[in-house]
Each structure stands twice: as structure tokens, then as C-alpha cells.
């Protein structure tokens, strides 16, 4: 009896592999973030739905055209690496939501570094040609005191 209970608890604690839709949304978000880092406007445009809206860390609401305008190749500047963690994906029908923590480490002019994190929520919709992002919201996480 105890072995059966222990096996059931182990099975419940083992995360299930992501569904095909969750995996597709994860790849979409990775393509989106890579396109932003690389200032690849064409790849970025391919990830965004026509009605895309983004809420910036300061609360600005930017439509698709404005977001694409931020990433023109001629405006590219070096960006510090950003790491993703704490990813959660929920899929309900033709809608998917991915929430994750994005952490960036920046080097100050004096050579010291500072690390900051932001929580991002991406909303994706299934389109005829695959998943597309319809929204992203960036919420700063206050530094630990």
C-alpha cells in the first residue's frame, strides 16, 4: 500500500511534457526575443499578429507598427544578455499565455554590474499560419532589499 502511494506521489510530482501547442508558444516567444535582440525586423514582424499591443515597463501602450519601429536594423545597438526563467505556459483552445521572468545583467561605466528582472506575460493566438503574439506586458520586479 505504501509503495503504491509513493509511486502515485512521484507521478504527480513529475512534470508532464509540454503539449505541442505549449511547445509551439515557447518557440514563438524565443523567436520573438531573439528577433528583438538581433534587431531583425522581418523575423520580429513574423511573430506578431496584426493587432499586437505591448505594454512597456513604464506603462506605455505600443501598437505593432510602433514596436517594429523600435527594432529597425539601422538603429541596432549592443544589448546585454537576458536570461529567461520561471516559465509557465497555459493553453486554452486557440489562446496561449506564457509568463516568465527575464533577467538582465548590465555593466556600469565603472565596471561594476547590476542585475534587474522583469516579469513578462505574452498572449498568443492560433492563426492559420501558426501561433502569433497578440500582446506582451512587461512588469518590473523591484530589486531585493
Core vs surface per residue 81-118: b (16+ CB within 10 A) or e: eeeeeeeebebeeeebebebebbeeeeeeeeeeeeebe
**Tens-digit pLDDT profile for residues 22-63:** 999 999 999 999 999 888 999 999 999 999 999 998 999 999
pLDDT at 6: 46
**Tens-digit pLDDT profile for residues 67-103:** 999 888 787 777 777 888 899 999 999 999 999 999 9
pLDDT at 78: 76
pLDDT at 118: 93
Band of the pLDDT at 15, cuts 50, 70, 90? Answer: low
- The yes-or-no verdict on residue 9 having pLDDT over 60 is no
The CA–CA distances, whole Å, from 121 to 18, 53, 93 equal: 18, 12, 18
3 vs 112, higher pLDDT? 112
Say how far apart CA 59 and CA 43 lie, in whole Å. Answer: 25
Percent of the chain with pLDDT over 70: 88
Amino acid at each position: 500500500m505504501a509503495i503504491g502511494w509513493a509511486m502515485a506521489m512521484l507521478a504527480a510530482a513529475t512534470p508532464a511534457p509540454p503539449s505541442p501547442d505549449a511547445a509551439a508558444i515557447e518557440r514563438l516567444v524565443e523567436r520573438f526575443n531573439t528577433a528583438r535582440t538581433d534587431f531583425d525586423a522581418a523575423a520580429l514582424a513574423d511573430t506578431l499578429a496584426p493587432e499586437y499591443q505591448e505594454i512597456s515597463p513604464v506603462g506605455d501602450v505600443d501598437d505593432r507598427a510602433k514596436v517594429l519601429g523600435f527594432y529597425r536594423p539601422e538603429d541596432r545597438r549592443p544589448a546585454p544578455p537576458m536570461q529567461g526563467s520561471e516559465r509557465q505556459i497555459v493553453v486554452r483552445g486557440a489562446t496561449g499565455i506564457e509568463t516568465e521572468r527575464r533577467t538582465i545583467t548590465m555593466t556600469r561605466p565603472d565596471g561594476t554590474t547590476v542585475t534587474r528582472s522583469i516579469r513578462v506575460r505574452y498572449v498568443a493566438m492560433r492563426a492559420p499560419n501558426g501561433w502569433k503574439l497578440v500582446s506582451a506586458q512587461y512588469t518590473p520586479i523591484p530589486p531585493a532589499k
